[in-house]
Amino acid sequence: MHDLFARFRTRPIPLPVTLSAATLSAILIGSALAHGVHGQARKAVDLSDATPLTIASTVDLSTPFARIAKETGPAVVNINTEILPHQDAKAERGPAAPGDDGDEGGSENQSPNMQDFFNRFFGGAPGMDGRNQQQQEERALGSGFIVDPRGYIVTAAHVIEKADRIYVKLSTDPESEQGHRARLVGLDKATDLAVIKIDVDHSLPTVKLGNSDAAQPGDSVEAIGSPFDLSQTVTAGIVSAKNRRINGSIGGQFKHIIHTDAAINPGNSGGPLLNMNAQVIGVNDAIVTQSAGSMGIGFAIPSNTVVEVYNQLIAPEHKVVRGSIGITYQPNLNSAVAKMYNASTGVLISSVTSGKAAERAGLKANDVIVSVDGKPVKDGDDLVDNITTRHPGSKVTIGYLRNGQKLTTTCTVDDRAEIEQVASDRSSDEPGAPSVSPSKTKLGLTVADLPGNAPAGLHGVVIQSVIPGSFADELRPQVGPGVIIEGINRKPVNDRSQFNAIVAGLRPGEDVVLQIVYPNSGGQSTLTGGVLPQ
């Protein structure tokens, strides 16, 4: 008893200093029960009047939210990605090349200088024979939903844009499996939307798309996704507001965001926001948070925007085409500027891109655009909404003010992507600015010249990245960051400019064979190739 009391006293509790005999007795009895001396107490209880519990009869208490989840859930998917890590630069043995037998002693033909070169400049390269799969970093990043029974899936671009491998897990797939390998169809960073595809031997369930313009603040909505990798999670709320324009990466010029208080958490990105007719009215995209969790401020890309972007991404060019007149502008006019330029509304041009639509039409910096085809322009967002929906080559009438005088001009709309490329090319001319390989769109590769102190006799370009689902991504033997390309279609490659020139001449449907060198192959080349997609 003394030992028992001593044990009890090791747990401080807020009791009076003086304990009555009854209180002390109750404490000791409770302590005894807590320490397993409960068999005798159970014997003292008469159980003859105890009635067993029963499970209640099934009663349908389903709400509209439950119906929507049941109807739509099978078409909502979990998206997992893999990002290939760099090997430790201190590793004594580099990645295995095809034909390497895995002997820890290494090959007699292996060049220490070659491996040191790759370890120093590239941190090693990922294994190309699949033996380093367990070293790959797997991340369950988001959600998506099936819009075509043949396996076409809509998700958020930021979910998959940096992935080396994309996997889609259906609602019917076992939890232990990684899912189906997906290919990237196309993505649009301006709206943060992407389309991916999986190949299956059966028809898949799909969602119904709604008209996001019909959604109103106060309407009930439901979100389904995989927050924190918890698949098929359902949350509900209302539409808090429409046509939000949020500064930063979650906004953009082409997204009239739906604001909702339905709980959106990391991993929900790319999943559907549904109305009470089980129709998708938005793609869950981002949250405002101070804790990495939902604070009731979530944003979804409207379904009408999804339809426009999707239809262009599945077209032969797999890209979104937008119009532009080639200007930069001040988003809003303050009162002093408005008085000075006699313009209560409009867009003040800051600069005009050389050789593009606005310059050809005679527009200049400090002109104020006040109308397009007779429709008043309120501000920069209004102008962008009007022009970007127009097809390149179409003509518009621009009304503008110059020194207080009202003027008009006819402008032939340009391709926004081409104008952005001009700006990119100018910035890449600056010392130290990186340039984009033209092989990115054809082969799905970005490459760089070899460093000046590369091993003697080594020539070609080194792969920096491979786009998931691209021509290069599907090659067997595989290629990846750190692999050298020495030649294409029996033509030697000595530097990036020569590589780009050869790639520029490749045509869809043509056989393409790459002569490659793996980092630890001792300079021995390997051939890999395939047919360039149409």
CA distance 259 to 241: 5
Backbone angles phi, psi at 517, to 5 degrees: -130, 125
Q: How much of the chain, in percent, has pLDDT values that exceed 90?
A: 37
Digit-coded pLDDT (tens) for 494-503: 988 899 889 9
- Residue range(s) in the chain whose domain bears CATH number 2.40.10.120: 64-76+139-320
pLDDT of residue 84: 63
pLDDT of residue 293: 65
Q: How confident is the model at residue 139 (pLDDT cuts 50, 70, 90)?
A: low
Q: What is the 3-state secondary structure (H, E, C) of 415-452?
A: EHHHHHHHHHHHHHCCCCCCCCCCHHHHCCEEEEECCC
Digit-coded pLDDT (tens) for 186-210: 999 889 999 999 999 999 999 999 9
Q: What is the mean pLDDT of residues 339-359?
A: 84
**Taking CA 56 as the corner, what is the angle to CA 51 and CA 59, rounded to the nearest 5 degrees?**
165
pLDDT of residue 40: 58
pLDDT of residue 374: 93
pLDDT of residue 482: 86
What the block records as the tokens of 235 is 């949350």
Q: What is the full DSSP assignment across 55-94? A: PPPP-----HHHHHHHHHGGGEEEEEEEEPPPPPTT-SS-
Q: Choose the weakest-confidence range: 150-154, 173-177, 423-427.
A: 423-427
pLDDT exceeds 60 at position 18 = no
Q: If you average pLDDT over each of 57-66, 208-217, 423-432, which comes out highest?
A: 208-217
pLDDT of residue 240: 94
CATH number, span 435-531? 2.30.42.10
* 26 or 164, greater pLDDT: 164
Q: How confident is the model at residue 227 (pLDDT cuts 50, 70, 90)?
A: confident
Q: How confident is the model at residue 213 (pLDDT cuts 50, 70, 90)?
A: very high
* 8 or 457, greater pLDDT: 457
- Choose, from 192, 285, 367, 473, the residue flagged as catalytic: 192
pLDDT exceeds 90 at position 430 = no
CA distance 64 to 72: 12
Q: CATH: 1.10.3720.10, 3.30.70.20, 2.30.42.10, 3.20.20.70. Which one for 323-417?
A: 2.30.42.10
- Preceding peptide of 477 cis, ω within 30°: yes
Q: What is the mean pLDDT of residues 284-306?
A: 83
269 counts as catalytic: yes
Q: Which residues lie below 8 Å from residue 172, measured CB to CB, with a gap of 6+?
A: 74
Digit-coded pLDDT (tens) for 48-107: 889 999 998 887 777 899 999 999 999 999 999 887 654 333 333 333 344 443 333 333
Q: What is the mean pLDDT of residues 230-239?
A: 91
Backbone angles phi, psi at 138, to 5 degrees: -105, 135
pLDDT of residue 163: 83
- Choose, from 100, 111, 158, 188, the residue flagged as catalytic: 158
Residue 201 Cα to chain centre, angstroms: 27
Q: How much of the chain, in percent, has pLDDT values that exceed 70?
A: 73
- Residue range(s) in the chain whose domain bears CATH number 2.30.42.10: 323-417, 435-531
Which of 384, 378, 371, 375 lies closest to 338 in space, CA to CA? 378
Which of 172, 193, 173, 174 lies closest to 184 in space, CA to CA? 193
Q: CATH: 2.60.120.10, 3.40.640.10, 2.40.10.120, 3.60.15.10. Which one for 64-76+139-320?
A: 2.40.10.120
Q: Which residues lie below 8 Å from residue 447, measured CB to CB, with a gap of 6+?
A: 437, 439, 461, 462, 463, 464, 485, 496, 499
Q: What is the mean pLDDT of the chain?
A: 78
- Choose, from 269, 303, 439, 470, the residue flagged as catalytic: 269
Q: How confident is the model at residue 229 (pLDDT cuts 50, 70, 90)?
A: confident
Q: If you average pLDDT over each of 80-89, 118-127, 215-224, 327-336, which comes out highest?
A: 215-224
